[in-house]
Amino acid sequence: MKKFVLSCAISLAMAGIAHADAGPVMAQSAVITTGHGTVTTDRVNVRSRADKTTEVVTQVNKGDAVEVLDRKGDWLHITLPASAKCYVSSQFVKDGAATADAVNIRCGPGTNFKDVGKLAKGEAVEVVEVKGEWTQIKPTGHCTGWIAAEFVEIAIPTPLPAPIQTSEVITPPVSLPPVADAPTSLSPAEPPVEVITRYIVKDGYLAAVADGNAPAPYALMTPKSVGLEHIIAYLDAPQLQLTRFEGKHIRVVGNERWKRDERYPVIAVERVDMVW
């Protein structure tokens, strides 16, 4: 009998310990992988790949702004700053534009250097210097590099507004005495249209829009499936030349606005990148 009592006591004690160790599970905060970032340290290397052994394309300093496109482990994929030196084979550049499609942009004057972007045929470039077989150009909007995530603080995106909830209050009718020559009743004011805005990075295929009533001349489309494709969003980008990207796989960065009564959102495009 004593052994039985002792065994029960031990079992209860162990159950109590297990319960104490199993406290409430804390939810981990989501890791922000895209958006506007700020460098937190001086002389931070930006490399051609997410690897400490690859070439240093340029350096950034504390307070510099970077545009984060993605995250890979301890590395952030960013758009190259203007200080980066980029090179293209001189045979593929003429009169400040690319003469072929998918031209490699490299981080040094030679094929032994890693590529950090590509040029589409006809895409304009800003030539810095021509040295024989290689032409140095300013980084384009789709030249990218990698930086250690520990040295960049990504801004927390503005949370979306909570949906507006309304409740209908019914009051009993009140009898009022008739009023002679009552003025014409005014139409009730229309409720404000709710608009949701957020900073986004989206992939898709660029297509011209034939509908004259559309809010923009171009749209970001899904890949074709069984001969069909669908609109992801309209693109508002009057400052950019989107014609050269028509039919190509692209990534757009900008502010998306979506009115409650509209079928598709409209993206105010800040940058367009080719997806290879």
- The verdict on 149 and 211 lying in the same domain is no
User: Is 158 domain-assigned?
Assistant: no
**Confidence band for 20, pLDDT divided at 50, 70 and 90:** very low
User: Is 93 domain-assigned?
Assistant: yes
- The verdict on 140 and 210 lying in the same domain is no
Amino acid at 98: A
Give bridge partners of residue 44 from the DSSP assignment: 60
Stretch 123-140: mean pLDDT? 93
Q: Which two tokens stand for residue 144?
A: 């990218």
Q: Which residue has the higher pLDDT, 173 or 16?
A: 173
- The verdict on 128 and 209 lying in the same domain is no
Q: Which is it for strands 266-274 and 231-236: parallel, antiparallel or unpaired?
A: parallel
> In which residue are the tokens 């005014």 written?
186
pLDDT one-digit tens code per residue, 94-104: 999 999 999 99
In this prediction, residue 173 carries a pLDDT of 62
Give the span between the Cα atoms of 101 and 149, in whole angstroms.
32
In this prediction, residue 259 carries a pLDDT of 82
Amino acid at 41: T
Q: How many domains does the chain have?
A: 2
- The verdict on 265 and 200 lying in the same domain is yes
In this prediction, residue 119 carries a pLDDT of 92
pLDDT at 211 over 70: yes
User: Is 8 domain-assigned?
Assistant: no
Pick from 91, 84, 92: which is nearest to 128 by CA? 84
User: Is 242 domain-assigned?
Assistant: yes
In this prediction, residue 36 carries a pLDDT of 87
Stretch 194-198: mean pLDDT? 82
Asked if residue 100 lies in contact with residue 69, where contact means CB atoms within 8 angstroms, the answer is no
In this prediction, residue 26 carries a pLDDT of 37
- The verdict on 149 and 210 lying in the same domain is no
Last residue of a domain, one of 153, 169, 186: 153
User: Is 248 domain-assigned?
Assistant: yes
Give the span between the Cα atoms of 86 and 84, in whole angstroms.
6
- The verdict on 143 and 231 lying in the same domain is no
- The verdict on 246 and 145 lying in the same domain is no
pLDDT one-digit tens code per residue, 39-82: 999 999 999 999 999 999 999 999 999 989 999 999 999 999 98
Give the span between the Cα atoms of 103 and 122, in whole angstroms.
11
User: Is 171 domain-assigned?
Assistant: no
In this prediction, residue 48 carries a pLDDT of 96
User: Is 120 domain-assigned?
Assistant: yes
- Per cent of the chain over pLDDT 70 is 75
- The verdict on 46 and 143 lying in the same domain is yes
Domain that holds residue 214: 195-274
Give the span between the Cα atoms of 232 and 211, in whole angstroms.
15
User: Is 61 domain-assigned?
Assistant: yes
Q: For position 266, which CATH number holds?
A: 2.40.50
Last residue of a domain, one of 153, 187, 214: 153
Last residue of a domain, one of 153, 186, 220: 153
188 to 176, 179, 191, 193, 275: CA distances (angstroms) = 20, 20, 9, 15, 50
User: Environment class of residue 139 by beta-carbon count within 10 Å: exposed (0-12), middle (13-18) or buried (19+)?
Assistant: buried
